A and B are shown apart, each in its own frame.
Chain A
Amino acid sequence: MSILVLAEHHDGALAGATAHVVAAAQAIGGDIDVLVAGENVAAIAEAAAKLDGVSKVRVADAAAYAHQLAEPLSALLVELAGDYTHVLAAASTNGKNVLPRLAALKDVSQISEIIAVESADTFQRPIYAGNAIATVQSGDPLKVITVRATAFDAVGEGGSAAIEAVEFVADNDQSIFVKEALAQSDRPELGAAKVVISGGRGMGNGDNFKLLEGIADKLGAAIGASRAAVDAGFVPNDMQVGQTGKIVAPELYIAVGISGAIQHLAGMKDSKVIVAINKDEEAPIFQVADYGLVADLFEALPELEQKL
Chain B
Amino acid sequence: MKVLVAVKRVIDYNVKIRVKPDQSDVDLANVKMAMNPFCEIAVEEAVRLKEKGVATEIVAVTIGPKAAQEQLRTALALGADRAVHVETEERVESLAAAKLLAKVVDEEQPGLVILGKQAIDTDNNQTGQMLAALAGMPQGTFASEVVVDGDKVQVTREIDGGLQTVELSLPAVVTTDLRLNEPRYAKLPDIMKAKKKPLDVKSPAELGVEVASKVALLKVTPPPERQGGIKVGSVDELVDKLKNEAKVIS
A interface list, Cβ under 8 A from B: 10, 67, 69-71, 74, 92-94, 96-105, 107-113, 122, 126-140, 173-183, 191, 195, 219, 227, 230-231, 236-238, 243-244, 246, 251-252, 262-263, 269, 272-275, 281, 286-295, 300, 303-304, 307-308
Measured between alpha carbons, how far is A308 from B242 in the docked complex, in Å? Answer: 10
Is B186 engaged at the interface, CB distance under 8 Å to the other chain?
no
| Interchain CB contact under 8 A, B214 and A105 | no
* Interface SS of chain A: mixed
Is B203 engaged at the interface, CB distance under 8 Å to the other chain?
no
| Interchain CB contact under 8 A, B160 and A70 | no
Q: Point out the residues of chain B lying under 8 angstroms from A294, CB to CB.
A: 231
Nearest A residue to B175, CB-CB:
A97
Which of A109, A128, A273 contacts B93, CB < 8 Å?
A109
Which of B95, B123, B229 contacts A289, CB < 8 Å?
B229
B interface list, Cβ under 8 A from A: 11, 13, 16-17, 19, 26, 93-95, 98, 117-118, 120-134, 137-139, 141-142, 144, 154, 157-169, 172, 177-179, 213-223, 226-232, 234-236, 238-239, 241-242, 246, 248-249
A-B contact pairs, 26 of them (CB 8 A): A93-B142, A97-B141, A98-B129, A100-B127, A100-B128, A100-B130, A101-B129, A101-B139, A110-B126, A112-B124, A112-B125, A131-B16, A132-B19, A139-B216, A175-B168, A177-B166, A180-B163, A180-B165, A183-B162, A219-B249, A251-B248, A273-B248, A290-B246, A291-B241, A291-B246, A292-B232
| Interchain CB contact under 8 A, A137 and B133 | no
| Interchain CB contact under 8 A, A70 and B158 | no
Q: Point out the residues of chain A lying under 8 angstroms from B168, CB to CB.
A: 174-176
* Interface SS of chain B: mixed
A-B interface contact total, Cβ < 8 Å? 250
Nearest CB of chain A from residue B88's CB, rounded to whole Å: 17
Q: Point out the residues of chain B lying under 8 angstroms from A263, CB to CB.
A: 13
7 closest A-B pairs by CB: A100-B129, A104-B130, A174-B138, A104-B133, A100-B126, A139-B214, A182-B162
Q: Point out the residues of chain B lying under 8 angstroms from A231, CB to CB.
A: 178-179
Q: Point out the residues of chain A lying under 8 angstroms from B98, CB to CB.
A: 104
| Interchain CB contact under 8 A, A109 and B217 | no
| Interchain CB contact under 8 A, B164 and A237 | no
Given contacts A101-B130, A175-B166, A262-B16, 14 further A-B contacts (CB under 8 A): A98-B129, A108-B214, A110-B95, A110-B124, A122-B218, A127-B121, A128-B26, A175-B139, A237-B144, A243-B123, A273-B242, A290-B226, A291-B246, A307-B239
